Structure 1
Amino acid sequence: MEQKLKKVLFITNIPAPYRVVFFNELGKKCDLTVIFESYRASLNVQYNWNDDAIKNFKAIYLTKKPFNPNRIKLGILKHLNYRKYDIIIVTNYAYITETLYMAWLRLTGKRFLYETDGGIIKNDSKFKYGIKHLLLSMANGYLSPSKESDNYIYHYTSSKSNIFRYNFTSISKDDIIKKCLTEEEKNEIKSKLGINESKIVLAIGRFVHRKGFDILIKAFRQIHDEDVGLYIIGGLPTKEYEEAAGGMPNIHFGGFLKKEELKQYMSISDLFVHPTREDIWGLVINEAMSYGLPVLTTNMCVAGVELLPQNCIVRSEDVNGLKEKILEVIYDNDELKRMSDRNLEKIKKYTIEEMVNNHINIFNTF
């Protein structure tokens, strides 16, 4: 006898692109409703999911105004009939609307799951620790993507028995390359892009302090080889970063690129570096690995700590350590090949399809 589809409710903030892909896949295996707090992230970012992207789940938007985590969305009151759902998942305890919904579920005795993308234990004051403990302890179970996140949940809830593991990602199975480009193919793309260096180090992200690009630039300035180019892509650099680069001809800044343009840089690069000061996950690690890129990152990147071997991790803020690690691998083609093969094999387990299977298994267990 075919098992009846479970009715599942997710409550989250905005329809981020990778989340919509996940919900579309999940909606193939359950009767899925997703309540988004807002239709868009900011005045400059608007998602047009109603027209074409949402296919396999019901989407409800509490507001079409830009997302504000500190503003209560009273529209949630119309959707408090929890009895029609078998499974309820809340994704963030730091947003007021979701926090109130968690409290209401707790007070009315409805079991629910809390899902986190990651977590880093901090040296909180007693007051802040108490608030986090109170909020996280409301849930009856936890979906965690990593050992580090398990520790985070346990730290604030003292609960280990009801933590369920899922493989967090933004890539689908078809996004993983079958094989890396040959040197001839790379050189052809480099020629089109006007790139002359024989070795390419790539970093992607916004030019904000948390991403640690100033650390990477300082490290790279100590690598005295103009045949190794550093390309930082993801936005326009501020004057601070331009001054830090000091006019070095082999440090390049790129603006925001479309997916196909970014794919070219991913394909020709020899090493991906994510020098973050803090990422509770860091999906850019998954994406770099899906292109077979060797990856270096810091101990403050949960994705890196979970997915990469220890010798690919350096301490955050360690300029000299990062420089030494880059030099250790960038000229060693055999080691780069080993890192690439290892990352491609590892990332096969971190696809949207596998993430959906994880969730369905958890729902059936819960």
Structure 2
Amino acid sequence: MTTPQNIRVAFWHNVFSPYRVPLFQQLAAFDDIDLTVYYGSMKDAYRAWHVEFGEGYRYGVLPSVSLPGYPYKFNYTLINELRRHRYDVCIAVENEIGCQLAYIASRLTKTPLILWSIEIDYEIIRDPQERTLASYLKRLPGFLKRKLPQIAYAPFTHGAAYVKRHADAYLVAGAATERHLRNAGATGECFRFGNTIDTEKFAQRLSQQSPNALKQQLGIEKKRVILSVSYLQKRKGIQYLIKAFLQLPVPDSVLMIVGDGEYKTELLKLLPNDRHDILWIGHDEDTSKYYAMADIFVMPSFSDPWGLTVNEAMLAGLPVIATTNIGAKELIQGNGFLIPPRDASAMKEALERLLLDEPLRKTMGVRSREIIKDYTISHSAEVCRQAIYAVQKRRKI
């Protein structure tokens, strides 16, 4: 019989993420938690992350197949793995296929299932330029390409909705995720783990940087730096940041974009030939040097479940401009500005205010550090542990 000192936990995560490794290591370090992590995939096609699983926890990568036109991989051995090992508690990421497989296995083995979610409900705001007939016709092939698989795989969507309603408990990134699940009909207890990064490691990297020397290397030592760190997809909203920057009447500033992606070609079309104040850094595994030399951080996404780069920027003591369509908006509390998505004008006003007011930038930067100090891996791991104990206790009643 399993004792409270040794709860065997399976954690299915849809894809490897370097941000999650420290959490898994911390969970595995608890004397009373015996953790096994199952990754659904080693690599996200849209991420350039270096895959380094780390040490200190047990893990495996499950085989998978891809379904035509469907974005999620099918881990066909997941049910058997969970049934064979008969864990005491199962945690599964909210995902259309994987969470259903974990749910089926949990019901077959009478194991409590905790749904892990960072998803939020987005406010749909269209760019006025996308409302023309020509724009609709241009987007029609892409719309049909997305819609037809959605119709074909509708049972998966309904199945995932069922799991959202019937999981035994929920580990949620924040308030917006909890609202998302409640709107979907979830009635179980929600535990907010506070989506975060390895703050100690990142703070150490920041402390090792020499901002003035770095700025000198780039020839921007007398410039104020607006920073955005992002994979370059349309939904990341960098196009609106560029439009806002091009309107700024502040000549001694530069826009630094760290990241790469398929949308860069479209972004380059927005730039006049005579503008040399936008720096394209590309992908870099160590982003701390860019935060260290920045004055303002911007996250212009119009759909992002959280946005851990906001955590990084706040740890660096930066004021943050972000849209209301990201989960991390709950971190903006007197340390920056929240603006509507797809609104270059509002972004320009927020940027101009911060660029012209150094005392305000410093005050907001101090506030960023005050807020983010409580968002630690230790806290997240302890909340996960509380959720595990809660469902384990109910199982015994």
Which band: TM-score by shorter chain? 0.7 to 0.9
The aligned runs of 1:204-215 (5 Å cut-off) are: 204-215=229-240
1:35 aligns with 2:61: no
Q: Contact (CA 8 Å) 1:201, 1:269: kept in 2 or not?
A: yes
Task: Call closer, same or farther: CA 1:194–1:21 in 2, change over 3 Å.
Answer: same
The answer as to 2:162 corresponding to 1:134 is yes
Shift of 1:171: 2.3
| Paired residues for 1:20-59 under 5 Å | 20-29=21-30, 30-42=33-45, 49=52, 53-59=53-59
TM-score (norm 1): 0.86
- Residue 132 of structure 1 deviates from its aligned partner by 5.0
**1:300 matched residue in structure 2:** 325
Match of 1:279 among 301, 304, 323: 304
Range with greater deviation from structure 2 (232-241 or 313-322): 232-241
Contact (CA 8 Å) 1:170, 1:351: kept in 2 or not? yes
Matches within 5 A, 1:105-120: 105-106=106-107, 109-120=110-121
1:191 equivalent in structure 2: 216
Alignment of 1:239-254 (within 5 A): 239-247=265-273, 248-254=275-281
Give me the CA root mean square deviation. 3.1
Tell me if structure 1 keeps the 8 A contact 2:64–2:74.
no
Q: In structure 2, what is the Cα distance between the partners aligned to 1:258 and 1:88?
A: 32
Q: Report what 1:224 is aligned to.
A: 249
Task: Measure how far apart 1:337 and its partner are.
Answer: 0.9
**Superposition deviation, residue 87 in structure 1:** 1.7
Q: Distance in 2 between matches of 1:142 and 1:289?
A: 27
Q: Do the aligned partners of 1:173 and 1:348 also contact (CA within 8 Å) in 2?
A: no
Structure 1 contact 121–155 (Cα < 8 Å) conserved: no
Shifted more, 270-279 versus 82-91: the winner is: 82-91
Partner AA of 1:61 in structure 2: V
Q: TM-score, normalised by structure 2?
A: 0.80
**Aligned residues of 1:143 and 1:164 also touching (Cα < 8 A):** yes
CA contact (8 A) 2:169 2:387 kept: no
- Please give the secondary structure, in 2, of the residue aligned with 1:176: helix
Tell me by how many angstroms 1:193 deviates: 2.5
User: For the structure 1 residues 63 and 83, does the alpha-carbon distance in structure 2 shift closer, same or farther, using more than 3 Å as the test?
Assistant: closer
Residue 252 of structure 1 aligns to a residue whose secondary structure is strand
Q: State the shift of 1:101 in Å.
A: 2.6
Determine if contact 1:39/1:64 at 8 Å carries over to the other structure.
no
C-alpha distance in structure 2 between counterparts of 1:152 and 1:44, whole Å: 25
> Match of 1:358, SS?
helix
In structure 2, the gaps of 5 or more residues are 125-149, 392-397
State the identity %: 25
- Judged with a 3 Å threshold, the aligned counterparts in structure 2 of structure 1 residues 55 and 355 are, in CA distance, closer, same or farther, namely same
Count of residues in correspondence between the two structures: 353
1:31 is paired with a residue whose SS is strand
Matched with 1:12 is 13
Q: Secondary structure at the match of 2:270?
A: helix
Amino acid at match of 1:41: D
Unaligned runs of 5+ in 1: none
Q: Indicate if the aligned counterparts of 2:225 and 2:296 stay in contact, CA closer than 8 A.
A: yes
Q: Measure the CA separation in 1 of the matches of 2:359 and 2:174.
A: 29
Distance 1:179 1:42 in 2: 29
CA distance in structure 2 between the aligned counterparts of 1:325 and 1:164, rounded to whole angstroms: 34
- Give the secondary structure class of the aligned counterpart of 1:85: coil
Deviations 1:281-309 (A, max 9, x none): 11111111111111110001111x21112
In the TM superposition, residue 3 of structure 1 has moved relative to its aligned partner by: 5.6
> Separation in 1 of the partners of 2:331 and 2:24?
23
Instruction: Tell me which residue corresponds to 1:75.
Output: 77
SS at match of 1:167: coil
1:164 aligns with 2:188: no
SS at match of 1:206: coil
Query: What CA distance in whole angstroms lies between the structure 1 residues aligned with 2:310 and 2:66?
Result: 28
Q: Secondary structure at the match of 1:80?
A: helix
- 1:321 is matched with 346
Could you give the per-residue CA deviations for residues 33-82 of structure 1, whole angstroms, max 9, x where no partner exists? 01112233349968664xxx442221122128899854432222431327
1:87 aligned to 2:89?
yes
Name the CA distance, whole Å, in 2 between partners of 1:75 and 1:83. 12
* CA distance in 2 between partners of 1:297 and 1:44 (Å): 21
Deviation at 1:108?
Answer: 5.2
| Counterpart contact for 1:136–1:157, Cα < 8 Å | yes
- 1:278 shift after superposition: 0.7
